[in-house]
Amino acid sequence: MATMQRLQNTGLELFYAQGYYNTSVDDILKKLDLSKGAFYYHFDSKEDYFIQIIQNLLARKIYSTLIEPIEGHDNPLSLITKCFDDAMETAVHNEMDYGCILSNFLTEFNGKNDVIMRHLNEIVTVWEVNLVTTLQKGKFNGYLDRHVDCEAAATFLMSSYFGVRTLMTSEAPSAKKYRFMSQLRQYFKSIEAKPVNF
C-alpha cells in the first residue's frame, strides 16, 4: 500500500483512539516506521493532514455506516432501527470503543479550529439532509404519521445516536445498547402512521 494511504489510515486510527491534540506526528511515524521527511513530503502540516483524512476516510466511513444503510424504499423507521442496531453492535464487539468518531471530533475541535469544524459540519449536514429526505419519503409513502416534523425527528435521532455512543464507552455498553434500542422503538411507534379508523 502506498505510504500516503498508510499514513492516513494510521492517522485516523490514532486520532480516533487518542484524540488529535494528544497524538503527535511522531507517534504516527513511529507506528509506521517512517521518518519526518516522508510525512512532510506528502502533507503541508498536521492540520492539512487531518483535513485530508476527514475528506478521504471519515466522510466515507460515515457514509457507509450511517447514510447508505438507510437508503431505499422500505419503511425508513425499520431501516434506521437496523442501521443504529448494526452500528452499536459493532461498537459493543469492539473491545476498545471510543464512541462515534464524528461526534468525538466535533467535541474536540469545537471552538478550537474553525477550518476543521467546517469540514466536520459538512459531514454532519450530509447525514442530516439524508435523514430528513428519507423520513419525508417515508411520510409520503405512508410509513410515518403525516403530522411528523421530519427535521425535528432527524435532529432527535442524530442527538440520541451521538449521545448513546458516548454513554456506551463508559460502562455496560451492551446493556446501554439494549435499553436505548427499546426506547428508540417506543419513539418510532409514536411517530409511525396510525391505522385508519373505519
Binding site for a second copy (CB under 8 A): 17-19, 21-22, 96, 98-99, 103-104, 106-108, 110-112, 117, 120-121, 124-125, 149, 151-156, 158-164, 166-167, 169-171, 176, 178-180, 182-184, 186-187, 189-191
Q: Which of 139, 22, 18, 23 is nearest to 76 (CA)?
A: 139
Instruction: Answer with the entry of DNA, a second copy, none that 126 interacts with (C-beta below 5 to 8 A by kind).
Output: none
Q: Rounded to the nearest whole angstrom, what is the least distance from the CB of residue 45 to DNA in the complex?
A: 4
Q: Which residues, in sequence order, are bridge partners of residue 192?
A: 144
How far is the C-alpha of 154 from the C-alpha of 76, rounded, in Å? Answer: 12
Q: Which of 14, 25, 132, 167 binds DNA (CB under 7 A)?
A: 25
Provide CB contacts within 8 A for 141, sequence distance 6+: 73
Site string for DNA, 47-66 (x = CB under 7 A): x-------------------
Instruction: Answer with the entry of DNA, a second copy, none that 42 interacts with (C-beta below 5 to 8 A by kind).
Output: DNA
Query: How open is the CA angle 94-169-28, to the nearest 5 degrees?
Result: 65
Give the residues lining the site for DNA (CB under 7 A): 2-4, 23-27, 33-38, 40-42, 44-47
